[in-house]
Structures are given as structure tokens and as C-alpha cells.
Amino acid sequence: AAYAEEYIANLKAKAAGDPRIIFTGYVFGQGYHELGSNAYIFVETSGVGGTHPALVEAMAFGNCVITYNTPENLETIGEAGFGYDGNIGADALRQLLQYLLQNPDVVQEYAHKATHRAHMVYSWESVTDEYERLFYQLRGQPLPQRLQSYMHA
């Protein structure tokens, strides 16, 4: 976006001298996996698009997830994460982050919920099972036993 350079410069100025804040730039491969699997909380701030792969990955990594409260993001996290009101903006996100940082037991609980949801809903096996179920229904055929016992998270 046109404002990105100014915004990033402003963030870097605010973070200057704080060794806890690192601007990594783009990170891929093993480095991305390391960051994702060691994050305490993952925040998805995008208010556009559908199911964001990075959000699903964060859930699978076992992160407590916070997302902008679009219908798509809220559907992705289900009851396994937190949404904040993007129309309110930074204040809503700040309040939620403060709450979670003061309640590590809640962070841990939702990290487990996120992992479970990612594996139950977004694994290849569950996605292909859903497609198979749909195809059987479209053909008017009964479901095989292995597809009848599936429980959607």
C-alpha cells in the first residue's frame, strides 16, 4: 500500500532501542516454521480475503490466535480463537492482547483448541473426506462407514 513505507518507518522509530522487537522482513522455509512454532500469540489483522493459510498454519503450530472479526476469519477459528472488532481497531486489539498476556492459562487453553481445530477441520484427510461426502450425497448414494463417523470440530 502507498502508506506502507511511512507506517513501517513509524513502527521502527517507536521500537528503536527495544531488543525484544525485531523486524525480520519476509521469512520463508525453516525460518518461518521456527517463528510460527515458537510464537506465543498469532494475530491476523487482515480484513479482506477468505480463509488465510497463515491463520490455519498458526493454529496448526499450536498458537493462541487472534483475528480481525470478519465472517471468514471467525469461521476459520470457530471456538478456538479470539476475534477483535476491526472497526474499533487498535484499542480493541490492545485490550484483547492485554487480557491474554495477563492470563497465560487462557492462552494455553486456546492454543490447544486451535491445534485441535486445525487438525480436525483443515487437514488433508478431513478436507478430502468432506469432498467425498459431498460427492456421495450428490450421487444419492449411502456414505461408506468410514465417512459416517466423522465429527466436524
Residue 40 clears pLDDT 60, i.e. is over it: yes
pLDDT in tens, 116-150: 999 999 999 988 998 999 999 999 999 988 888 75
Structure confidence at residue 86 as a pLDDT band (50, 70, 90): confident
Residue 97's pLDDT is what?
Answer: 97
Count the Cβ atoms, other than its own, within 10 Å of residue 55: 25
Task: Read off φ and ψ for residue 146, nearest 5 degrees.
Answer: -65, -25
pTM: 0.81
CA angle at 143 for the pair 122 and 130, rounded to the nearest 5°:
15
**pLDDT more than 90, % of the chain:** 69
